[in-house]
Amino acid sequence: MKIPKRLEPLVEAGLVDAVVRQLTSGKEAMIYVVRCGEDIRCAKIYKEANLRSFRQSVDYTEGRKVKNSRRARAMEKGSRYGRKAKEEAWQSTEVDALYRLAAAGVRVPQAYNFVDGVLLMELVTDGEGEPAPRLNDVVLTPGEAREFHRTLIREVVRMLCAGVVHGDLSEYNVLLGNEGPVIIDLPQAVDAAGNAHASSMLERDIGNLARYFGRFAPELLDTGYGKEIWSFYKSGKLFPEIGLTGRYERIEKAVDVGGVMREVDDALKEEAARQLTRREMGQK
């Protein structure tokens, strides 16, 4: 097929030998199957910001660090250079997340190169060597739904242990590869420690999984892994193989109303005594 213009620099640099076909066109990027030597990989071409249906929200970019101060100021002002820098930062977030999560043992595609807004990475395949389907294109048995849900909850935990929350996880961002589910699409990933919205995003991600897998195994709709996982994370007790129940009960100490009223009464008496002392001193 004709080489897309955005892929020409990779072909000229010898990183891509041939473009086999277009695989998908999503809300943020177009994916092409490419040949690199003897390997078949995929090339993700990020769409320009004005062409994406997914908008960069401050909820996602909060907490992201920019080392270059000039670049950071330009991004805040929204100048042409700043918009370009913000776009590059948005794209590089996925690359950084892929390397970080792969090192932590999370099931994500292997990244190979990132050149001019094009990410060259592993093509996730099914048992026949064909591009793996997304979860939303698959009909599952109740047993498969429970198994894949359990696997993905474990992957979410592993991600959080690496300090990352996906932020847009659902059946549309998981491929069913030959060895099980693989998590994809991470440009909106957030830093768990640096983003005030991380906990709500984690709960939303896990809620999306419960709703999808709950179509096939309804008991999963009643699970509450999000709050449980975040509570372990906040207390510093989260680790990849932690045992989870899917239940979370917030323990709150009962308020001792009588004790509070006694303290208020004592404070009022002390204040009355002070006022009386002042009046007596004023009369002398």
Q: Which helix (H) or strand (E) holds 38?
A: none
Instruction: State the Cα–Cα distance between residues 184 and 94, nearest whole angstrom.
Output: 9
Instruction: State the Cα–Cα distance between residues 66 and 76, nearest whole angstrom.
Output: 11
Instruction: State the Cα–Cα distance between residues 144 and 10, nearest whole angstrom.
Output: 39
Instruction: State the Cα–Cα distance between residues 45 and 141, nearest whole angstrom.
Output: 34
Is residue 168 among the annotated active site residues? Answer: yes
Which residues on adjacent β-strands are paired with residue 32?
A: 22, 43
* Spatial contact of 240 and 229, defined as CB atoms under 8 Å apart: no
Nearest Cα residue to 249 out of 231, 271, 275, 266: 231
Of the candidates 96, 185, 205, 222, the residue annotated as catalytic is: 185
Instruction: State the Cα–Cα distance between residues 273 and 270, nearest whole angstrom.
Output: 5
Of the candidates 59, 137, 168, 191, the residue annotated as catalytic is: 168
What number of other Cβ atoms are within 10 A of residue 162's Cβ? 17
Instruction: State the Cα–Cα distance between residues 234 and 192, nearest whole angstrom.
Output: 10
CA distances from 265 to 268, 270, 272 (A): 5, 9, 11
Q: Quick one: DSSP state of residue 254?
A: P
Which residues are part of the catalytic machinery? 168, 185
